Amino acid sequence: MATLGSKLITKEMEWNANMTDLNHLGSALVAKPAKLMGKMDQLFSAQNYYSDNPLLSILGGGKEKEHPTTDWTWELKGANTRPLVVMENVLPVSEATPGKFGLEFKIKLDENWFVPGDVLSPGASNKKYQVRVMQEVQRHGDGWVYSVQMVTNNDSDFIPVKYLTPGTQWSKLFSQYEEATEQSGSTQFSLPMSLKNHMGKYRKKYKITDYASTEVLAVAIPDSNGKMHTSWMKYAEVEYWKQWYKELERGAWYSRSSETVIGANGRPVRSGAGLQEQLEDSHVHKYSHLSAKLIQEYLMDIFYSRKKPGSGRNVKAYTGEYGMIIFHEAIQDLMNKSGFIQNVEVYTNKVKSDYHDNALGAGYQFVRYSLANGGSIELIHNPLYDDREINSEIDPVTGYPVESMRFTFLDFAGEGGSDNIQLMKKKDSESFVYVNGSFGPTGPSKAGTAAHAGDYYEMHVGKVCGLHVQDVSRCGELILSRS
């Protein structure tokens, strides 16, 4: 039978009815939930049956935030200034040289943010195209009309008409005024967006008969000092807890927000947005061939003009096993073309062998990519993306699940040292209970009370939790698409 982990040795043995409740990890969980729930996380969370680096394991251990309600809101503030967008060209069709000879002309923009004296530019690389707002803005249908004059000493200069077409962006550069003026330039403030997410309720049960209940395991549990302590646990509970934490892991990634599904008692089954749904509003790009250039350009979309070059441009990329291979190939191709690999001795190292006294091993793998300007990407295996149980769409080129080639980029660091991604848990929402019949988790009932007369017992566990991403624009996904 497979072990639960490299340090957790298990073996089947017969159940001894005389063993105490505290030697039974399930019962101990009831007796001391605050102390032992963390140990259950360590033993049976995704780190042991999925990977060493699942989302729950990274975000757990002190980063799970308790909340008094199932809903939570937060505010996200963008830049205080932004360009305004041309709504339509309001000049006559015959007007081909707006601004020529110092004449005023009109621009229709989407907001009334600018005031007389503000100097605007259409964002061209040549900043000679500048205009000054000359009059108070006027409402015009779905936008605002500005009367402007070109800033130039050359009467033959004019603004190309292409900068007045719908969708063109105009930005304020600064404000300039005459002597003894009483006017002043505009100031913009962005109001924060109010965002909301909510938790979902997860529950799981199993029933076990008196005969099946006699199969147990001896489990070695490590303490904080690394010493192993042997405890006993039912075989069914081992599988139960493994599946429970697997489902929580899947919920953190894949849960979809909904309040329209109605449960058996007539109440809505509320589910919150998991990681992938929240990242649909982030930097999402479809690719057919992965290259180092694509990765660098993609990460530039996230970092450019938001974080200055240097430290702090670090993200983790979660992907499947085949994604790790094509990432390695992409970086290797870049290194080979640059001539770097040929000049660095990374191919061989000495190994022990029964066949030769000078045996060598060859090979390497790229798992991290340090970009120009200080950015870096660290590759992390996400076993959910390799799980054939839930990923049956196969890529016709590789023969592996399409999801195995998804790259999810996560920036865990928020502003001011805060966490950008957090697990949310409703306070006092975790429950764990046995429903005993004539047989219970410690053996047959002896003149006690029971919830039913059957020779079996049930075990139920529940939790209300969700995932919070403060700023999805710090994250994103590269998704394989062959079409």
| Three-state SS at 257 | coil
- Whether 423 contacts 64, CB under 8 Å: yes
Domain coordinates of the chain in residue numbers? 45-78+194-219+235-483, 84-175
- Give the CA distances from residue 57 to residues 49, 53, 129, 220, 226, in Å, rounded to whole numbers and listed in that order: 12, 7, 54, 20, 19
How far is 205 from 222, CA to CA, in rounded Å?
27
Query: Going by C-beta distance under 8 Å and a sequence separation of 6 or more, which residues neighbour residue 340?
Result: none
**What is the fold, at CATH topology level, of the domain defined by 45-78+194-219+235-483?**
phage-related protein like fold (3.90.1690)
Query: Which tokens is 102 given?
Result: 């110092």
How far is 240 from 4, CA to CA, in rounded Å?
13
How far is 45 from 37, CA to CA, in rounded Å?
11
- In terms of C-beta distances under 8 Å and separation of at least 24 residues, what long-range contacts does 331-339 make, across chains too? 331/292, 331/366, 331/369, 332/366, 333/291, 333/292, 334/291, 334/292, 334/293, 335/366
| Three-state SS at 466 | strand
Query: Which tokens is 302 given?
Result: 């996230």
Residue 404 is predicted with a pLDDT of: 94
Nearest to 16 by CA among 217, 154, 178, 245: 217
| Three-state SS at 253 | helix
Note the CATH architecture for domain 84-175.
Answer: Beta Barrel (2.40)
pLDDT in tens for each of the 483 residues of the chain?
333 444 444 455 555 444 444 455 555 554 444 444 444 444 444 334 444 445 555 554 445 778 888 887 776 655 566 788 899 999 988 889 999 999 999 999 988 889 999 999 998 777 889 999 999 999 998 899 999 999 999 999 999 999 999 989 898 888 988 888 888 888 776 656 677 888 888 898 888 777 776 666 666 666 666 677 666 666 677 777 778 888 888 888 899 988 888 888 888 888 888 899 999 888 899 999 999 888 888 888 777 766 677 666 778 899 999 999 999 999 888 888 776 555 455 566 788 888 888 888 877 788 888 877 777 888 888 888 988 888 889 999 999 999 999 999 888 776 666 778 888 888 888 888 888 888 887 778 887 788 888 888 888 889 898 888 888 888 889 999 887
- Per-residue HEC secondary structure of 340-384 comes to CHHHCCCCEEECCCCCCCCCEEECCCCCEEECHHHCEEEEEECHH
- Whether 305 contacts 78, CB under 8 Å: no
